[in-house]
Amino acid sequence: MVASGLVLIDKPTDWTSHDVVAKVRKAVGTKKVGHAGTLDPLATGLLVLGIESGTKLLTFLVGADKTYLATIRLGVSTVSDDSQSEVLETANQQALAAVDEAQIQQEIDKLTGVIQQRPSSVSAIKVDGKRAYDLVRSGEEVELKSREVTVSAFELVSSSRSPEGFIDLEVRVDCSSGTYIRALARDLGQALGVGGHITALRRTRVGSFDVAKANQITDLENLSLTPLAQAASDLFPTVNLSDEQVTDLIHGKRLSDVGEQSGLIAGLSGSGELVAVLEPVGSGLKSVVVFQGEQR
């Protein structure tokens, strides 16, 4: 039987998230593999996969905060806000020469915090039941509605000028789920009057999971899997359950009189296995997802 848990993969560039899932399915010998959020083919970095019952944990990761490293090129705007599509406009050298680091930092500061962001038109967001990127590729003009996102950190790591006069920025972004780094590049370029897009993007963190501990797609024979109990403990506070409480949860009963609790909790058995993800109800707990008997 295939073990259940989470697998961290460092996705290479030009691979789709589906490519990675298909490769891991073949490597571990099960079709029950899913991911906790796509990465564009251009992007590299952390892709969190669930194996077997580990797929039940993915729903708790979809909305997790994320960290990205990106290269933003100022001076060129593109259809997709990255380097994978045609150029819309190129800034003149005079406009680029007028942009200095103080101006860049000022506009970065304006894009930090709780902001309204219009997602990139070439995205997986659905419009009338169709993916926005499919509509754009078919020749339709798509402008998605702005939505609230949180950019908790937008750090300018370094900047340089290319031989052509373009400005290349190395940035680090901590943000809420649903934030488009491509849109940040676009909006930064627009604010500076020269346009902008990303030329490189790397996701380094999803929630508490870091790319430093990820598996390489070229070395799946030595795949490292994070067991259910450990993965859940990385996501939530834990509570140790008695045998009686484990039985109650398996039979759909709530736990009563467990004291004040807040947020989701991972319930572990006496042997350290993940029994369920729990949520507070009054002074008790009820199961959101049950895992007992699905550890291996």
Q: Are residues 83 and 196 in the same domain?
A: yes
In a domain? residue 295 = no
In a domain? residue 181 = yes
Determine the pLDDT at residue 256. 84
Domain boundary among 194, 229, 264: 229
Determine the pLDDT at residue 135. 59
In a domain? residue 172 = yes
In a domain? residue 296 = no
Q: Are residues 133 and 94 in the same domain?
A: yes
Determine the pLDDT at residue 192. 98
Q: Are residues 168 and 71 in the same domain?
A: yes
CATH number of the domain within which 111 lies: 3.30.2350.10
Q: Tens place of pLDDT for every residue, the chain, 296 residues?
A: 678 999 999 999 999 999 999 999 999 999 999 999 888 888 999 999 999 999 999 999 988 999 999 999 999 999 889 998 889 999 999 999 999 999 999 999 999 999 999 988 766 666 666 666 665 666 666 677 899 999 999 999 999 999 999 999 999 999 999 999 999 999 999 999 999 999 999 999 999 999 999 999 998 888 999 999 999 999 999 999 999 999 999 888 998 876 667 789 999 999 999 999 999 888 788 999 998 655 54
Contact present, 294 and 53 (Cβ < 8 Å): yes
Q: Are residues 93 and 191 in the same domain?
A: yes
Q: Are residues 85 and 200 in the same domain?
A: yes
- Token pair 């729903």 is found at 59
Q: Are residues 79 and 200 in the same domain?
A: yes
H or E stretch covering 65: none
- Token pair 């604010």 is found at 191
Dihedral angle sign, alpha carbons of residues 238, 239, 243, 244: negative
In a domain? residue 35 = yes
Query: Known catalytic residues?
Result: 40
Determine the pLDDT at residue 296. 43
Determine the pLDDT at residue 80. 86
In a domain? residue 78 = yes
Give the single-character DSSP code of 177.
T
Q: Are residues 86 and 185 in the same domain?
A: yes
Q: Are residues 165 and 278 in the same domain?
A: no
pTM value is: 0.90
Q: Are residues 223 and 241 in the same domain?
A: no
* Number of domains into which the chain is organized: 3
Q: What is the DSSP string of 9-63?
A: EEEPTT--HHHHHHHHHHHHT-S-EEESS---TT-EEEEEEEEGGGHHHHTTTTT
CATH number of the domain within which 272 lies: 2.30.130.10
In a domain? residue 145 = yes
Cα(95)–Cα(192) distance, rounded to whole angstroms? Answer: 9
In a domain? residue 13 = yes
Q: Are residues 75 and 101 in the same domain?
A: yes
Q: Are residues 151 and 256 in the same domain?
A: no
Q: Are residues 81 and 211 in the same domain?
A: no
Q: Give residue 12's domain range.
A: 5-64+207-229
